[in-house]
Amino acid sequence: MVSSEKKIIGIASLKEKLSLLKKQGWSIVFTNGCFDLMHFGHVQYLETAKSSKGKRVLVVGLNSDRSVRHIKGPQRPICPQRSRAALLAALSCVDFVVIFNEDTPYNTVKALKPDVLVKGADWKGKPIIGEVLVKKVELIKYVRGFSTTHIIKKIAKVYGCR
């Protein structure tokens, strides 16, 4: 079993590992996100992405702190990228975590050449970054009531913040 620390990997090393795994018959599955405050919805989503079908290697592209700030605003992320990466890597369903600085994972998907791209079902009918680069896109059912934004709003309401 690979320690969680060794699951957090740079793109060049990850490309080499994935190439070997593909030759061994593994299907490379990629998903991405900010994963700012880990919650049940994230865990269920990642477990489903990993366990759907056959021999699958799950790679999670994690938005860097800079990327999250640019997408979500100056108050985010709540948790720094190393902490977010470590939490993701600690999950048994996650095989590798790669951090990217861009707003989208397009360049990461292009470099890694996964077989499958996984997104939440809330993306249905919307353009999915990198879909033209993969053999298949899978949409996973969204778990209602579980989102980082929802959690932050609930905390703010309970504790009388803004």
Number of domains present in the structure of the chain: 1
Joined together, the tokens standing for residue 153 give 């709003």
pLDDT band at 87 (very low <50, low <70, confident <90, very high): very high
* CATH number of the domain enclosing 136: 3.40.50.620
Question: What is the distance between the alpha carbons of residues 69 and 66, in angstroms, rounded to a whole number?
Answer: 5
Are the C-beta atoms of 86 and 98 separated by less than 8 Å? no
Residue range 135-156, pLDDT digits in tens: 999 999 877 777 777 777 888 7
Residue range 51-80, pLDDT digits in tens: 867 799 999 999 999 999 999 999 889 999
Are the C-beta atoms of 74 and 94 separated by less than 8 Å? no
Q: Which domain, by its residues, includes 118?
A: 4-158
